[in-house]
Structure 1
């Protein structure tokens, strides 16, 4: 029997997780088992008394602190074991799954996550916080973090499987994105018509697939993202860029930390900035990634995640009556990498007004020109789009774009931000104020199909 087997209190647990890796992993497993047993003995979260909630939270906090202490010491050793000395490139979901198998109690298992995701957000234990702790340490490591970023920049298996079809036909239909190549332009049309292009796990998967295809196809010189025409009654026939995170899906427990919140930022949005990691040894000495310039068009609005997305584009065109917003304070979650990228576009004061106070930026006001490159009446948008994609084609654009992005956003600074984001966003997902707010938005949109009050309450759109 090891010392970890006779652990009797928090102080001994803390000493054990700082010991050698073998003893430490056993201590984490035992502590997690004790917490799981305690939670199982209590009523389900929605039926607990205030005292029982306090008991559960105290146990969870103690175990979260123990996991964090373990990773303070052992992150690089854990990552090396999971990736076989960094010879395997595992994406965030794959890495979390491998960690659950190799280090019991460190992060939730697939079975635990499946059980949680079948529940409304308010009825969960908050097991994704374990993942937030894990990814905070992995991304924060100067050894493991860059390796994980590289893994996330690789093309997805789904995209590689579809690439021959796209190269031959110039068209791929995905559930929420339509991809068409005309000339040297890859046109990504967001086509979740009934929900105002609200974002969920499926949309993130589709967007990453489409971005990969556009980057991997040598016939493509520039990418274009635009909202499709909506069927929602309030916006029927109008193009909508995005209403942000699908709050009904979040309320119902269907938004994942790994498959949505982290994959979105480290996957396709980061690929818009950096490109897709190349395996072509003949050209990799010149650039590790295949990059393309990107244009976005906002015909009506870009809310929450839609507005976040614009910050990664090289050129943004908006209709004169469009607007942008990041209503993070209304929903209580962190708006992706906007807190990192927005300040360099509009400055610290305006960033706080937008993120903390919910200020909308209308395309018609002067400050919109800090976020939007061109503003046109609706009838002139199509011509402006074609002019923009033509200007951005050419090898000199790629070289200068690469240097601009490197100067504006160093990989290490981005990685440090995402390390803290992983933890703080996982905590926000289970915060009482967030659960109350998304529940209110969902109730307001009952009988509708969209996200938040963008689609349901008759009020103006609001997505995270």
Structure 2
């Protein structure tokens, strides 16, 4: 069992993963990242898990990387940092990933938020990439994903100054999808996750992949991928079930085939 996570598999196809290093504001050390990557790998291969939520506690989603651990690494250690592979596995999770954020999401915590597909944040949440204050820069996708999320001017300001962004401004900037009362953050994330979990799994997975293509490729290539995915789904049992359910005015029962 993981020692830095609390994992709850819900009966409705949702897996809730809670970061659990409260004494360190959920700082992302190597052990926690390895456990998180392993849990996401397990969820990716579990046909009963359709959506995953990552959350922290009311004080912090994750306050950044573990600075004490970082201080112990020399240049050779950085060049051979095992966390790189863990981050790659987290970012490659193929199913819908929701971040439910309260409190601080700084440095690696903000980078983890940006690996999620949907971000529900409490009004007390604060986001930022303060690595510049340590004489370094974000190293787990912070510069690349932040600019894509909020645009060049704001990304430059946040990264170069180390300033933080409150939830209201994060919503306006497009860094999060929804803001709620802090005590309702996880419950709202569960509502969204359960809604997604009721949809056809193959359609959900291809829809996520198509949307991500829009960030990484030109319009013509993205449209070709979308049309290819649309055609593939036309031959699935879930597509037939979805149409029948609509015609019969009943909820669809999707099986993932």
TM-score range, shorter chain: 0.7 to 0.9
Q: Which residue of 1 aligns with 2:68?
A: 248
Instruction: Map Cα deviations across residues 303-324 of structure 1 (whole Å, 9 max, x no partner).
Output: 1001011112111011112110
Paired with 2:183 and 2:119, the residues of 1 have a C-alpha distance of 17
How many angstroms apart in 2 are the aligned matches of 1:367 and 1:374? 7
* Rg larger in structure: 1
Is 2:111–2:142's contact at 8 Å kept on the other side of the alignment?
Answer: yes
Q: CA offset at residue 325 of structure 1?
A: 0.8
Displacement after TM superposition at 1:369 (Å): 4.7
In the alignment, is residue 323 of structure 1 matched against residue 130 of structure 2? no
User: Partners of 2:61 and 2:71 in 1: how far apart?
Assistant: 22
Which 4+ residue blocks in structure 1 deviate beyond 3 angstroms? Answer: 254-261, 366-369
Q: Mark the CA change 1:331 to 1:208 in structure 2 (over 3 Å): closer, same or farther.
A: same
Offset at 1:216? 1.0
Structure 1 regions of 5+ residues with no counterpart? 1-172, 229-237, 273-290, 411-464
Aligned to 1:347: 151
CA, structure 1 residues 368+326, in 2 after alignment: closer, same or farther (shift >3 Å)? farther
Which residue of structure 1 lines up, in the alignment, with residue 193 of structure 2?
Answer: 389
What SS does structure 2 have at the residue aligned with 1:297?
strand
Q: TM-score, normalised by structure 1?
A: 0.43
SS at match of 1:267: helix
Q: 1:330 to 1:296 in 2, by over 3 A?
A: same
Once the two structures are TM-superposed, the CA of residue 334 in structure 1 deviates from its matched residue by 2.7
Alpha-carbon distance change, 368 to 306 in structure 1, aligned in 2, over 3 angstroms = farther
Counting only pairs closer than 5 Å after superposition, residues 299-310 of structure 1 correspond to structure 2 as 299-310=102-113
The match for 1:429 is none
Matched, 1:296 2:99: yes
How many residues are treated as equivalent by the alignment?
A: 210
Deviation at 1:328, TM superposition (A): 2.1
- Kindly report the root-mean-square deviation, in angstroms, between the aligned alpha carbons of the 2 structures: 1.9
Query: Does residue 202 of structure 1 match 2:31?
Result: yes
> Normalising to structure 2: TM-score of the pair?
0.75
Of Structure 1 and Structure 2, the greater strand share is in: 2
- Gap regions ≥5 residues in structure 2: 218-257
CA contact (8 A) 1:226 1:297 kept: yes
Cα deviation, residue 380, structure 1:
2.7
